[in-house]
Amino acid sequence: MATEGETWTTVQNHDGVLSFDDDVDHPYGDEDEAALEAEVNGNWTPQEKALHEARLKAKAKRRVRKSSSRSESLSESLSGELADGDSHSPKGKVPVPNDRKSRTGKGRGLPKKGGAGGKGVWGAAGMVYEVEEPDVKDPNYDEIAQGDTVYATVVPELDERELEKTVNPIVQEYFEHGDTKEVQMLLKELNLGHHKYEFSSLAVSLSLEGKASHRELTSRLLRDLVGKELSESDMARAFDKILKELPDLMLDTPEAPQMLGQFIARAIADHALPLAFLDRYKGKVDCDHARAALDRAAVLLSMKREMVRLDNVWGVGGGLRPVKHLVKEMNFLLKEYLVSGEVKEAERCLRDLEVPHFHHELVYEAVVMVLESKGDTAVKMMCKLLQAFWKIGLITVDQMNRGFQRVYDELPEINLDVPHAHSIMESFTDLCYQESVITKQLRDSCPSRSV
């Protein structure tokens, strides 16, 4: 029997005899021991007693292992690491994970490093970091990128389809404002690449379908682009392409060969094309239309050899012309009409001037020419011309009234040179009113001799 304070354990040997071992500690309490003694002293066989004791031990081990496995393993690992790594750790203290207090036991309970340490912390307030030199052993180290890096916006190069869609609106808008600097600014924002020369060919092709003023603006644009956005070689390539496409251009513009010849002559005079451009084609042109264009350019250059530029090759139209020049053109138009009597030709010449806002000058010059003429022929012809322009809408009511009113205001001065100016004016206004050229109010406002 075991004495007080000792623990006995029954063990079954190979012969089936139970023995007791006092070196093994029981993991169960006093109540379990009492129940075990009662069962051992009972009528159980030795095998049943040994089996029952083994079950109790296994049950106790499972209960102990389940409750203390986690805490015990964590405390053992922390105590082992701290015991080896930190010799200043106070005895009897087990460090707690994520503890920010000093482990020496001498601190005031404040955070370590004044709050400047730890995960996700940038450092103490006012701390200045020095520039770190790149590490050559760093896997992300780039030897080329360590120099001065320049960042720039990369614009993709335009292909042929996108080039035409982009350039056409620029050229059409230029025909409205006529500012070459704005076109230069827009071209700088585009990446034309090796298709740069096609801008000139597209501009010339569009101007061939437009007015004379558009062709004049295009010649000025080519002159201003050379040396800045385009070179002489780019311009030569552009005209080479147009010469090859000339048969197709003639489908829409039958006068394309003559116009292209004028473009070439103007470009050479403006130093946009090299002087040797025409020499390259001598005896090497098979297309009759291209030969006609080159011959036209050669003739113009030979006629204007003493001139620096062929400024009047397009007959500068629109508001770009001086007022005096427009007045001379309208005078010449009216004189030619009095000789030929062709209203259609006079209409074409007036439209080519491209100054619809200045048509009142034509009315003024026509009335003055009637006052200065002799006989009734000029009176009837001018009335017929003004009537034709009135019916087709080439001259509006305001322009007609303004032209006549200008003559009314200057009639006293005109009367000094033409003594019968008042009577001629009255008869002419009556005729125009009968032909529905002017209104009754305008006729009645005609000054008489007595005024």
pLDDT of res. 16: 44
Query: Region 126-153: what's the mean pLDDT?
Result: 72
Two tokens at 140?
């992300």
- Give the CATH number of domain 160-312: 1.25.40.180
Q: Say whether 323-445 and 160-312 share the same fold.
A: yes
Query: Region 252-276: what's the mean pLDDT?
Result: 88
Condensed to tens digits (0 to 9), the pLDDT of residues 148-185 reads 666 677 777 777 778 888 888 999 999 888 888 998 89
> For the chain, what is the mean pLDDT?
77
Q: State CA 379 to chain mean position distance.
A: 60
Class of domain 323-445: mainly alpha
- Other C-beta atoms closer than 10 Å to the C-beta of 363 total 26
Q: What is the pTM of this model?
A: 0.47
The one-character DSSP state at 341 is -
Rounded to whole angstroms, the Cα distance separating 225 from 241 reads 18
Query: Region 36-42: what's the mean pLDDT?
Result: 54
Is the model's pLDDT at 367 over the cut of 90? yes
Is the model's pLDDT at 307 over the cut of 50? no
pLDDT of res. 309: 52
Rounded to whole angstroms, the Cα distance separating 69 from 157 reads 70
Q: State CA 226 to chain mean position distance.
A: 24
Is the model's pLDDT at 302 over the cut of 90? no
Spans of all domains in the chain: 160-312, 323-445
pLDDT of res. 382: 92
pLDDT of res. 157: 78
Q: Is pLDDT larger for residue 275 or for residue 31?
A: 275
Rounded to whole angstroms, the Cα distance separating 336 from 10 reads 146
* Choice among 81-85, 270-274, 285-289, 446-450 with the minimum mean pLDDT: 81-85
**Residue linked to tokens 């040179």:** 417
Rounded to whole angstroms, the Cα distance separating 232 from 223 reads 10
* Choice among 63-72, 164-173, 228-237, 287-296 with the minimum mean pLDDT: 63-72
